[in-house]
Amino acid sequence: MKVLIIGDIYSNIGRVMVKTWIAKIKKKYESEFKIDLVIANGENTTHGKSLNERHYHELKDAGIDVITTGNHIFAHPDVVKYIDKSPDLLRPLNYNPYHPGNGTIVVEVGTKKVRVTNIIGRTFMDKADNPYYAVEQLIKTTEKNSNEISDIHIIDFHAEATAEKLAFAWNFDGQLTCVVGTHTHVQTADNRLLPKGTAFISDVGMTGPFYSIIGANPKEVIYRDKKTMPAYLKPADGEGQFSAVLLTINNETNRAEKLERIFIHPQAPDLKINE
Ligand code: FE2
């Protein structure tokens, strides 16, 4: 099984990149393999923050099966209105339990049940509950209920600190199929299998404007940082980048075989899968 996991989609440029590259990847590799499932972090899709209902449908139409999010998910007022009727749009599992929406979903891919869970970090981030406890409880509850058991479990850990994401992945090594980090918008080159087989990368990166500061127009970011004055950040214009990872899962064992990086941008425009 092949799972394409796309890093934080940022603004209209990110949405265009997603539509373009999901189709191109499927086409280029159609004789070698099929992409069985597409997961993407969509928390920056609408003008750099959150995901309105129109853009949610745009991402679904582009071929994304499950949308994960993070700290900006509730920034757009639309989200509280439609998240409860959209179970494939996740908000962090370890958020305030009074928040609407789900933090986890099981999707059927052929004969396999694939669970996708979204959690959020606590280092340099807003308040959230303990992500270890949240996932331990999830695993315990699902083990008791045969309908809830999945063959494969993939987690998007939306967090700032690489060590926080890595420590979490090591703790659950062997229990989870794959842990990918999101949120920093910078793809890391530490994709690997941990000793007991969980696939891991600290950050998948960002899909959006290439000539930008993590998606935003540089001018306002520099003004804010240099002068420590409030600034309204705008999404940058210009050419786009596409950041993703491709997860290969063994169909016999349901274990991760490899996690490879894809990073397409104006200075590296060819589609390449990097081991
Ligand atoms: Fe974020």
What tens digit of pLDDT does each residue of 237-248 get? Answer: 999 999 999 999
Percent with pLDDT over 90 in the chain? 96
22-55 per-position pLDDT tens digit: 999 999 999 999 999 999 999 999 999 999 999 9
Active site residue 185: no
Assign 275 a pLDDT band (cuts: 50, 70, 90).
Answer: confident
Separation of 187 CA from ligand 1 center, angstroms? 14
Tell me how far the alpha carbon of residue 73 lies from the centroid of ligand 1, in angstroms: 9
Residue 102 structure tokens: 């789900």
pLDDT band at residue 139, thresholds of 50, 70 and 90? very high
* Identified catalytic residue from 47, 55, 57, 72: 72
Give the chain's mean pLDDT: 97
Gyration radius of the chain's alpha carbons: 18
What homologous superfamily is domain 2-274 in, according to CATH? Answer: Metallo-dependent phosphatases (3.60.21.10)
Rounded distance from Cα 272 to ligand 1 centre (Å): 26
Q: What is the pLDDT of residue 6?
A: 98
In angstroms, what is the span from residue 45 Cα to ligand 1's centroid?
A: 11
Using CA atoms, how far residue 80 sits from 15, 40, 74, 102, 134, in Å, is 22, 20, 7, 12, 22
210/13 Cα distance (integer angstroms): 9
Is residue 85 predicted with pLDDT exceeding 80?
yes
Q: 73: which 2 tokens? A: 């998910």
pLDDT in tens, 205-228: 999 999 999 999 999 999 999 999
Indicate the pLDDT class of residue 147, thresholds 50, 70 and 90.
confident
170-201, pLDDT tens digit by residue?
A: 999 999 999 999 999 999 999 999 999 999 99
Q: Which pLDDT band, with edges at 50, 70 and 90, does 146 fall under?
A: confident
CA 81 – ligand 1 centroid, Å: 21
Band of residue 144 on the pLDDT scale cut at 50, 70, 90: confident
What residues have their beta carbon closer than 5 A to ion ligand 1?
A: 70-71, 183
Nearest one of 199, 97, 112, 103 to 149, comparing CA atoms: 112
* Domain range summary for the chain, segments of one domain joined by +: 2-274
**Three-state secondary-structure class, residue 67:** strand
The helix (run of H) or strand (run of E) holding residue 219 is: helix 218-227
Mean pLDDT of 75-85: 96
